[in-house]
Amino acid sequence: MEAVPGGELLEPEVLRSQDGVLRVDLVAEARVTEVAGRRAQVLTYNGTLPGQTWQVRPGDRLEVRLRNELDTATNLHTHGLVVSPQGNGDNPFISIAPGESFDYRIDLPEDHPTGVFWYHPHRHGTVADQLFGGLYGAIIVTGDEVPVSRDRSLIVSDISLTTDGTIAPVSAQEVMMGREGGLPGVSRTRLL
Ligand SMILES: [Cu+2]
């Protein structure tokens, strides 16, 4: 497949924890952006696809206020984090109705492994549409690594658009199996 040339490399904005806490006001909403040179109606976290990158350390607390501006119910899952699934933690049974907000509190244990993880909706019945629509972002758990010149986070958005620039409908098969995107050489997204 031929890559689309040009286009500067864009990294999602990085939000870092301070004094052991990362507070995030997170808004899920539909927006018009540019994806691979095309105007696209997608779903976004805080207006971008992918959403901001969250950088935390073992032992930190994540406080996320998620406001649902979508027209379907949603919630939040921190994929790969070794954290509690109960209460207002990483609880897949939480359902946030359109127009509602929810305050998550997710405590990372002191011995949490470092690495790259991600967040996305995990509300039963709407996961595939919201995930394929563009709702995802990276979580990086850092430790005391040897300093390098510069860390860069690359997130590949491989989404499927219809000819009129909306997200392609998700089939029952794709709900179960996932899907590959239909855009060649997706390299960047830009907010319009
Ligand atoms: Cu997941």
- Structure confidence by residue, pLDDT tens digits, 16-37: 999 999 999 999 999 998 887 7
**Of the candidate ranges 36-45, 80-89, 167-176, 181-190, the one whose mean pLDDT is the lowest:** 181-190
Cα(45) to centroid of ligand 1, in Å?
16
Cα(7) to centroid of ligand 1, in Å?
29
Identity of residue 59: G
Cα(33) to centroid of ligand 1, in Å?
24
185 pLDDT exceeds 60? no
Domain 14-191 CATH class label: mainly beta
Contact 79, 127 (CB under 8 A): no
User: Comparing 69 with 1, which gets the higher pLDDT?
Assistant: 69
- Structure confidence by residue, pLDDT tens digits, 91-143: 999 999 999 999 999 999 999 999 999 999 999 999 889 999 999 999 999 98
What is the enclosing helix (H) or strand (E) of 177?
A: helix 172-177
Cα(149) to centroid of ligand 1, in Å?
31
- Structure confidence by residue, pLDDT tens digits, 46-76: 999 899 999 999 999 999 999 999 999 999 9
Query: Which residue, among 134, 149, 147, 118, has the nearest Cα to 55 in the 3D structure?
Result: 118
